[in-house]
């Protein structure tokens, strides 16, 4: 597919929409590559990566580790600050907004064709979750 998206023109919610799908695909592929094949177990394992709480924990670790460059942080803020008309499910509004920013960041990297950086970020994310760094946010591996 050779469709190009002008990511600079997308609002934060559009980037989050794209980022949610891209991120979910990475997580599913990663879990299947680990040999997990039972649907119930896949769902439980995925929750440690895809819940709003997991996104918030990962973003806080990105800040603590100085993992993001300024431009990436700007696209995170574009998503976090977007005026969404949907309500947070199973979490508070602040966590939901951070999650939206996290998804917008992933969407930005994908839409801007920064695939090497996206792969680097996903490897970092896998390491954080699997090492247990995100557990104090209520996410079990």
Task: Give the active site residues.
Answer: 20
How is 23-92 classified by DSSP, letter by letter? HHHHHHHHHHHTT---HHHHHHHHHHHHSHHHHHHHHHHHHHTT---HHHHHHHHHHHTS---SPPSSS-
CA 135 from centroid of its chain's CA atoms: 16
Cα-only R_g, the chain: 14
């Amino acid at each position: 597919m050779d469709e190009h998206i002008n990511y600079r023109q997308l609002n934060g919610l559009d980037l989050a929409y794209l980022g949610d799908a891209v991120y979910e695909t990475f997580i599913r592929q990663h879990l299947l590559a680990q040999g997990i094949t039972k649907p119930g177990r896949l769902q439980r394992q995925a929750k440690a990566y895809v819940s709003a709480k997991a996104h918030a924990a990962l973003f806080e670790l990105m800040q603590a580790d100085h993992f993001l460059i300024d431009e990436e942080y700007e696209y995170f803020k574009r998503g976090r600050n977007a005026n969404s008309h949907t309500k947070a499910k199973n979490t508070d509004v602040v966590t939901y907004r951070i999650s939206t920013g996290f998804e917008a960041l992933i969407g930005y990297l994908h839409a801007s064709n920064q695939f090497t950086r996206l792969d680097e970020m996903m490897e970092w994310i896998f390491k954080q979750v699997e090492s247990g760094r995100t557990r104090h946010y209520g996410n079990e591996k």
